[in-house]
Amino acid sequence: MKKNLRIDINKAMSICFRNGLKVEPVVTGKSFVIHVNDNGNVIEYNKKISSNQVATAVTKTYKHFALKILKQQEYA
């Protein structure tokens, strides 16, 4: 599978939801951090982002994990 494969955000979110993965922004003071809930195992990314970067960060995170899931299923 190509690393730069483009995937639609709706398809990426669907793949993630079906595999128990949820991405959400969490407010920390005046900025945000991204939390990834993988079937109850919460991963917090330390990079602080502004409010106008949240949508892009969430989109990129969903796409990254969807491609990772597809790659795992391809080699399973």
Q: What pTM was computed for the model?
A: 0.89
d(CA 12, CA 31): 25
d(CA 12, CA 71): 13
Q: Are 63 and 36 in contact (CB under 8 A)?
A: no
E strand or H helix at 74: helix 54-75
pLDDT of residue 2: 47
d(CA 34, CA 64): 13
Q: Does 3 score more than 80 pLDDT?
A: no
- Mean pLDDT, the chain, rounded, equals 92
Q: Which ranges in the chain belong to alpha helices (H)? A: 9-18, 54-75
Averaged pLDDT for residues 31-56:
96
